[in-house]
Amino acid sequence: MLIKEQQEKQEKELKDKCLKLLRQYTKHDIVKITSSGDAAIFGALVIAKQHGCNTVLVPDQGGWLTYLSFPKILNMIVIEIKTNYGLIDFEELEKAAKKYSKSAFLFASFAGYAAPQNLEGIYSLCKKYNILMIEDASGSLSHSQLCNGSFSDMIVGSFGKWKIADLGYGGFLSCRDGIITLQIKELNILSLIQEKQMNYGILLKKLQGVTGRLHFLLQKTKEIKALCKKQGFIMIHEDAYGIGIFVKYKDNEEKQRILDFCKNNNIEYKECPLYIKVLENAISLEIKRIH
């Protein structure tokens, strides 16, 4: 019995250290570790609905699949906003914000992992029209601008494979003060989406290493972009920083050149068009999978 109590105490201490780091990274006091990144998204949408949000605005590309499916499960209307290959167009966002009151806006702070959003500008626009802002920081955890609770109402993230904190499972949801109302507490949604079996010791090591991991991936992306440029490849968001690269092609011959480049440089890839990347004939170089 004593051994079990010691183990539980040790686990609680490790969990508390994980939560402390997540509070530091997100700049939100309220943080919950969840069973997955998708569970965090679902929890954020439930909270949004309890705040009276009937509509969820999402980018037309550069997002995640459950941005489109989860709101429908909750009987919320999904409105896709036209973007610049995932980067938020402020005119389009404002147009939607004016038209759809009682809305939440769910998007990734790195558009398709390839380009950073203007988080502060988006948050300012959301506040102007009383839009609840939900930021997905799965690819930007610990980034001072792109994982910043000062410019978001809620932040969600995944600890899944190939994420910045790549535990292989689990995620998190953080909220600014005032988001968790008494009604939401009574729903107990945060406990429903919380991970029950989590190796907090390994998670702590992953969280302690995210700053270095993110820096490594950003630098690696920069290096590979330079190689792509030498090859004469046309890149989407060429001048942006991120942890992914989209290379366009106009025919099968050009596509094969890009695939050969990936093979010769041991770079994993995905073929587009894809909602989670870009809706364009392109090859997505998955830099975030490099170790």
How far is residue 220's CA from residue 107's CA, in Å, rounded to a whole number? Answer: 24
- Is 76 in the same domain as 175? yes
pLDDT of 259 higher than 80: yes
Which CATH number belongs to the domain containing residue 118 in this structure? 3.40.640.10
Contact 133, 126 (CB under 8 A): yes
- Is 185 in the same domain as 225? no
Contact 222, 243 (CB under 8 A): no
286/198: higher pLDDT: 286
Mean of pLDDT values over 69-86: 97
| Structural domain of 194 | 2-208
Structural domains of the chain, count = 2
pLDDT of 39 higher than 60: yes
- Is 199 in the same domain as 270? no
Give the pLDDT confidence of 169-186 residue by residue, as tens digits: 999 999 998 888 767 766
* Final residue belonging to a domain, choices 208, 227, 259: 208
Give the pLDDT confidence of 160-170 residue by residue, as tens digits: 999 999 999 99
Mean of pLDDT values over 54-67: 97
Contact 134, 44 (CB under 8 A): yes
pLDDT at 10: 86
- Is 36 in the same domain as 165? yes
pLDDT at 2: 64
Q: What pLDDT band is residue 232 in, cutting at 50, 70 and 90?
A: very high
Mean of pLDDT values over 96-101: 93
Q: What pLDDT band is residue 190 in, cutting at 50, 70 and 90?
A: low
* Final residue belonging to a domain, choices 208, 241, 272: 208
How far is residue 238's CA from residue 248's CA, in Å, rounded to a whole number? Answer: 11
- Is 91 in the same domain as 133? yes
Give the pLDDT confidence of 193-219 residue by residue, as tens digits: 777 788 999 999 999 999 999 999 999
pLDDT at 1: 54
- Is 285 in the same domain as 267? yes
pLDDT of 153 higher than 90: yes
